Amino acid sequence: MLPFARVTIIGIGLIGSSIARATRAAMPSVALTGYDADPEVREIAERLDMFDDVASSSGAAVIDADLVILCVPVGAMEAAAREFAAELPAEAVVSDVGSCKAEVVRALASALPNATIVPAHPVAGTERSGPEAGFATLFHKRWCILTPPEGTDALAVERVAEFWRRLGAEIETMAPDHHDRVLAITSHLPHLIAYTIVGTASDMEEVTQSEVIKYSAGGFRDFTRIAASDPTMWRDVFLANREAVLDMLQRFSEDLSALQRAIRWGKGDELFDLFTKTRAVRRGIIEQGQDDPAPDFGRTHE
């Protein structure tokens, strides 16, 4: 039995369009409805035939849904939810894919005070944005974290979990605050640092942009991928998860200062010890199937 028969996706970007494609692939009998605030995106979604129906308003999109998934930037969640609140069926479950959860839990509870809400975060993505960037296998073997507030209907949580399992994801459940601290270090801080270093490299006066690009294979190019991620999405993440991000940033800055000092004073042993320890983390990631085991991320070398 399918966990949901009528699924509506609000926001047809990388994640929304990937959920649509993955649902079509894994649960072809599900009736899929999509909506995006941008008429151009709706047109692309129609053309790519990702949904059974692309609605022209979010109210019309949710009117007979039993699962509604909000796939909009974190800062747009509350307004997007308010927009369809009056049309939402009483028995529908509402979920989302936001990268920070405490703020989203607050926003959705405020916009939909009587709805059953099961917040979710599939930890997956690429640097591409928009409806054409999605693909059906994006969530395979990736973790989807559910952060149901206390008192959430257990059956609704299990149905959302089962929905994500069918898309190929593994499920974990945790409190919204803990989620936000874990993701601050595994996702938000890495993006912040990548954006910063790419900015720093762009602003050099003595090293040209052309040199930065030419010699990027020395390591820099690894940072440019996540620094090419969607600007709106990431602005919202940093504003919504401000405290956890600032705390992680503080820890990172302290560690960087220690390393700076080790370089200044020529403490080779300290450098060597850290550089040895960090190899083990990569091994763990590869052993647990969270990255490509091939060297250089499996990039082609022809």
Q: Which of residues 120-139 bind a copy of itself (CB under 8 A)?
A: 123-128, 133, 135, 137-138
Residue 114 CB coordination number (10 Å): 7
Cβ nearer to a copy of itself, comparing 91 with 222: 222
Residue 224 has a CB neighbour count (10 Å cut-off) of 17
Shorter beta-carbon distance to a copy of itself: residue 57 or 253 = 253
Candidate residues 8, 58, 99, 152; the one interacting with a copy of itself per rule CB under 8 A: 99
Could you give the string, one character per residue 156-175, with x where binding to a copy of itself holds by CB under 8 A and - elsewhere? ----------------x---
**Binders of a copy of itself: how many residues, by CB under 8 A?**
111
Is 145 near a copy of itself (CB under 8 A)?
A: yes
Give the footprint of a copy of itself on residues 4-33 (CB under 8 A): none
Listed in sequence order, the residues at least 6 apart from 40 whose beta carbon sits closer than 8 Å to its beta carbon are none
Helix axes 176-183, 102-111, angle to 10 degrees: 140
Q: How far is the CB of 179 from a copy of itself (least distance, A)?
A: 9
- Cα(228)–Cα(212) distance, rounded to whole angstroms? 16
- Give backbone dihedrals phi and psi of 219, rounded to 5 degrees, phi first: 145, -40
The stretch near a copy of itself (CB under 8 A) out of 24-32, 44-52, 101-109, 202-210 is: 202-210
SS3 assignment, position 120: strand
Could you tell me which stretch among 1-9, 54-62, 106-114, 285-293 binds a copy of itself (CB under 8 A)? 285-293
Nearer to a copy of itself, 32 or 198 (CB): 198
Residue 278 corresponds to which tokens in the numbers above?
């960090």
Smallest distance from the beta carbon of 50 to a copy of itself, in angstroms?
A: 18
Contact 17, 131 (CB under 8 A): yes
Instruction: Report 36-55 residues binding a copy of itself (CB under 8 A).
Output: none
Work out which of 4, 35, 51, 195 binds a copy of itself, going by CB under 8 A.
195
Strands 93-96 and 120-122: unpaired
Which ranges constitute the DSSP H helices of the chain? 14-26, 39-48, 58-62, 77-84, 102-111, 154-166, 176-183, 189-202, 209-214, 221-226, 231-240, 242-264, 268-287
In the complex with a copy of itself, the residue whose CB is nearer, 43 or 243, is 243
Q: Does 57 bind a copy of itself (CB under 8 A)?
A: no
Using rule CB under 8 A, residue 232 touches a copy of itself? yes
Q: Which is nearer to a copy of itself, 3 or 75 (CB)?
A: 75
Query: In the bound complex, what is the minimum distance in angstroms from residue 40's beta carbon to a copy of itself?
Result: 19
Helix axes 242-264, 268-287, angle to 10 degrees: 140
- 210-229 footprint of a copy of itself as x/- string (CB under 8 A): -xxxxxxxxxxxxxxxxxxx
